[in-house]
Amino acid sequence: MQRAVSAFLRHLADERNVSAHTLRAYASDLGQFTAHMKAVLGRAPRPQDADHLMVRSFLADLHREGRRKSSAARKLAALRTFFRYLQREGVVSRNPARAILSPRLERRLASRLDDATITALLDVPGEGPGPLRARAVLELLYGTGIRCAELVGLDMGDLDRGGRMLRVLGKGRKERVVPFGRPAQAALEAYLRVRPSLRPRDDAVFVSSNGSRLTDRYVRKLVAARTRAVATAHRVSPHVFRHSFATHLLQRGADLRAIQELLGHASLSTTQRYTHVDTPYLMAVYRQAHPRAVTAVDRQKAAVPAARPRRSS
């Protein structure tokens, strides 16, 4: 079983280009399932030993331990993907997790930040290499909506500095081109002027103080530090910048399909989960646009307020 898991994880890393965070999650979930099989069988398990009853007993154990439904659903999805891979490789004849229904989950709105909080987070004080790098990282996270792993994976050849465009290698090694605005350009150019002083070891855009490529962990620590510095009540992670990017574009009239392309989503339903607008804004749009919502006089009074961009691009 362990050899099969190792081969699957190599497949995810080499062929599907999943993030380090996703890889760790798969390794953890499959490790827990392997340990469950070993406890049930009393010996080292093989992939062929897994059937739908084994998967059900694993999920039942998670429920008894008080695990959240979202955690159980993620582990079941990991098992489906793992056994689908093994089936394709001819290791097993059936996918034992395929027919098992996922736990019903509550749909939660993605977190996002308002303009004032975004501005405070991006206003990093200082002019040394560290602050300049931090400003460029945060400006690009918000200004492009790219994932944390995509940002730290950028190489110098991926930048079109004059055209203000990035070439991004996303999930599944899918390449896309993403624009960025003038504030992000200014922050990036300021950082790139001091980048040589960090003595980069390779072609990475963002490097640490010892010249190595920045990691996801650094970016998460940076966001956490900025969150503490501005004393915001919001729970902020690098992915919240992505949510905010999508939501702010939608609120300012961007087409959902265009946002889908910018985010690199294969499915429009995924993009819809990343975006939401406030109820007062929706009501204002309804009153302004629907012919039977209000009278003509009331419509003029209830005009939709123009969503003001944080900065000009």
Catalytic one of 75, 80, 164, 265: 265
242 is catalytic: yes
> Catalytic residue among 242, 243, 248, 276, which?
242
Which of the following is catalytic: 147, 164, 248, 276? 147
> ∠272-276-281 over CA atoms, to 5°?
140
Q: How far is the CA of 307 from the CAs of 193, 251, 304, in angstroms?
A: 34, 7, 9
Total residue length of the chain:
313
DSSP H or E run through 159: strand 159-160
For residue 201, indicate whether it is catalytic.
Answer: no
Task: State the amino acid at position 22 in one-letter form.
Answer: T
Catalytic residue among 171, 273, 299, 311: 171
Q: Which of 21, 239, 273, 299 is catalytic?
A: 239
For this structure, is 239 an active site residue?
A: yes
| DSSP H helices in the chain | 2-14, 20-41, 52-64, 69-88, 115-122, 129-144, 148-152, 182-194, 216-230, 238-251, 256-263, 268-274, 279-289, 296-301
Annotated catalytic residue within 26, 85, 142, 274: 274
Whether 171 sits among the annotated catalytic residues: the reply is yes
274 tagged catalytic: yes
Catalytic amino acids? 147, 171, 239, 242, 265, 274
